[in-house]
Amino acid sequence: MSAMSASRRNVLRGMMGGAAVSVGLPFLDCFLNTSGTALASGAPLPTAFGTFFWGCGLNPGRWEPAKTGAGYDMNIETAPLTPFKNRINTISGMKVFLDGKGARPHFTGEMAILTGDVPREQPNYASLDSIVADTIGTRTRFRSLEVTGTGKPTDSLSRRSASVTNPAEISPAALYTRVFGADFADPNSADFKPDTRVMVRKSVLSGVSEQREALLKQVGAADRQRLDEYFTAVRQLEQQLDIQLHKPEPLAACSKSDQPTDALIGTEIDNVVANHKLFAQILAHAVACDQTHVTNVVFGEATSPLRKPGTAMTHHIYTHEEPMDPKLGYQPNATYFMGRIVETLAMYLATLDSIKEGDHTLLDRTMMLAHSETGFAKIHALENIPMFICGGANGKMKMGQHLKLDGEPVTRVGLTIQQSLGVPVDSWGTMSLNTSKPLGELMI
C-alpha cells in the first residue's frame, strides 16, 4: 500500500507540473448517448440507492394492501403513494427476532433492518446503505449523502462500522453549499481548468495517507480497524478532490437545485416537512449530476418528536398515551403525523420522478427502501413493520408487488436489495436474523 501511495503521489506531482489533466475514470470514460437515457456503450445510467426512515410505524390494518402480488391497491394510510404503486413493492408482516436479547424500543427495529443485527448496546455492523455504496458508489464525489428532518445529526442511521456513523445534515442550506457550492464542477459547463489549490490540497492528503502503513503497525488489533477507517475517510476525500481535478462528462439531466432558505430547524411538523421539500430537491439534483449514488433520509428521530406548535404532546407521546378512538379504531392525533410522513415520502418520489432522463425519470433508476422501526408504535411491536421498496430500481428488481410475509425476518429485504445491486453476498444477518433467502418474487 505504501508503495502505491508513493507512486500515486508522484503521479500527482507530475500532473501538477504539467498543464491540463484528463485521466479518465471508468464511468466518465464513456459518453452519454444523445437522448441522455444511457451511456454511449448502451449501458444504462447507474442505479441510485436510497433509504427513507421514519419512527413510530403506521397503524396495523390501515396500511397493508388487501391484495397480495401484482396489481394491488394502496390502503388508507398509504394512499398518497398511489401514483407510484406500479413502482413500489409493499412488504408487510415481517418481524425482528430478539434471540433472548432485550428489545430497545425505537432502536432494535431500525438496527435489525439496516444492520441485520440486534445489538445489546451499541451498533455492531455497517448499515445496508454503506454496504451498497461500496458496490455502486465508489466513483462519485460523495460516497453517500445523509439528511435528517428534526435537527440532530446523530439521528443518521448510516454507519460504516461499529465505530463510524455518517452524520446527517440538518440544514438544507448547508447541504446545498456542500454539494453545489464552490467545489461543484458543472458537468455541462464548456470550460474546465484544474485548480492548483485543489492539487495542493490533494498533495497534503497524500502526505497524510502515506503514514497509513507505519501508523497501523503502532496500534493494537482492536484499534487498527478504527485507524484504518480514518485512513479510508482520508482516501475518500482524496478521491473527491481527484474527481474535481477532472473534467466531468456532460449529463443532460443535471442542473443545480435552487439555493434554499431553511425553514426553522426543529420538530414542528410544518417546518420539518418544509425542510424535507428542500432536501428532496437538493438530493435529487445531486444524484442527477452524479455527485452521489446513495442518499439516506431520516424523516425524524425514531422516538418521533414531531409536534404541532403550542402543544405539549409529540407524535411519540401520542402513540403511547392517546386513547384509541372507539369509533375510528385508531389514535387520531398520532395518525395525523403518520399521514404527513407518508405524504413526504410521496413528495420525495415525485421529486425524483420530476427529473426527466430521456423517456425515463430519475425515479426509474432509483431503488429506495422506505421503512419504520416498529409496526404498531403503541406497543413497540417488532412485527408487521412497514417496509417499501420504491422506484423503478433501474430494472434490477421486479416492482409493483405486495408481499405478505408474516413472521419472516426483516433481513430478507436487506439481502434482496444487496443481491439485486450486485453486492457479492449469499447470506446476511446475525443469529435468527441470518438469512440466505432473498425474496424470490422480486429477483430478476
Partner 1 sequence: MVMLNKPARIFGALGFAAAIALAGCGQKDDAPTTKGGPVSLRRLTEPEYRQIIADVFGTTIKVPGRFQPDTRDNGLIAVGTSRESVAGTGFEEYDLTARGIAAQVVDEAHRDTLIPCKPAKATERDDACATQFVTRTGRLLFRRPLTKDELANIVNDAGDSTAKLGNFYSGIESSIVGMLDSSQFLFRQEASIPDADNAGQRKLDPYSKASRLSFFLWDTTPDLDLLDAADKGELDSDAGVAKQVDRMVKSPRLASGVRAFFTDMLGFDGFAALQKDPQIYPKYGSAVAVDAQEQTLRTLADVLVTQNGDYRDIFTTRRTYLTRLLGSVYAVPVKVSTGWEAHDYPEGDPRAGILTEVSFVSLHSHPGRSSPTIRGKALREIFLCQKVPDPPGNVNFALVQDTKNPAFHTARARLGAHINQPTCAGCHKIMDPVGLAMENFDSAGGFRSTENDSPIETAGEIDGTKFSDVNGFKKAIHDHPAVPTCLVNRIYSFGTGRPATKDEAEWLNYQVKQFAASGYKVPELMRRIAGSKAFYRVSTPGTEANNAKLSMAGTGSQKETAK
Say whether 83 sits in a helix, a strand or coil.
helix
CB atoms within 10 A of CB 86: 13
Smaller CB distance to partner 1: residue 80 or 300?
Answer: 300
Smaller CB distance to partner 1: residue 268 or 290?
Answer: 268
Q: How far is the CB of 373 from partner 1 (least distance, A)?
A: 11
Q: How far is the CB of 433 from partner 1 (least distance, A)?
A: 8
Q: How far is the CA of 143 from the CAs of 134, 198, 394, in angstroms?
A: 8, 19, 19
Smaller CB distance to partner 1: residue 5 or 401?
Answer: 5
Smaller CB distance to partner 1: residue 186 or 322?
Answer: 322
Among 187, 171, 343, which Cα is nearest to 259's? Answer: 171
Q: How far is the CB of 93 from partner 1 (least distance, A)?
A: 15
DSSP-derived secondary structure letter, 224: H
Q: How far is the CB of 188 from partner 1 (least distance, A)?
A: 25
Q: How far is the CB of 8 from partner 1 (least distance, A)?
A: 14
| Angle made by CA atoms 419, 420, 422, in degrees to the nearest 5 | 65
Smaller CB distance to partner 1: residue 187 or 429?
Answer: 429
Q: How far is the CB of 125 from partner 1 (least distance, A)?
A: 4
DSSP-derived secondary structure letter, 313: -
Smaller CB distance to partner 1: residue 88 or 132?
Answer: 132
Backbone angles phi, psi at 389, to 5 degrees: -110, 120
Do 155 and 301 meet the contact criterion of CB atoms below 8 Å apart? yes
Among 296, 14, 303, 324, which Cα is nearest to 169's? Answer: 296
Do 183 and 244 meet the contact criterion of CB atoms below 8 Å apart? yes
Say whether 12 sits in a helix, a strand or coil.
helix
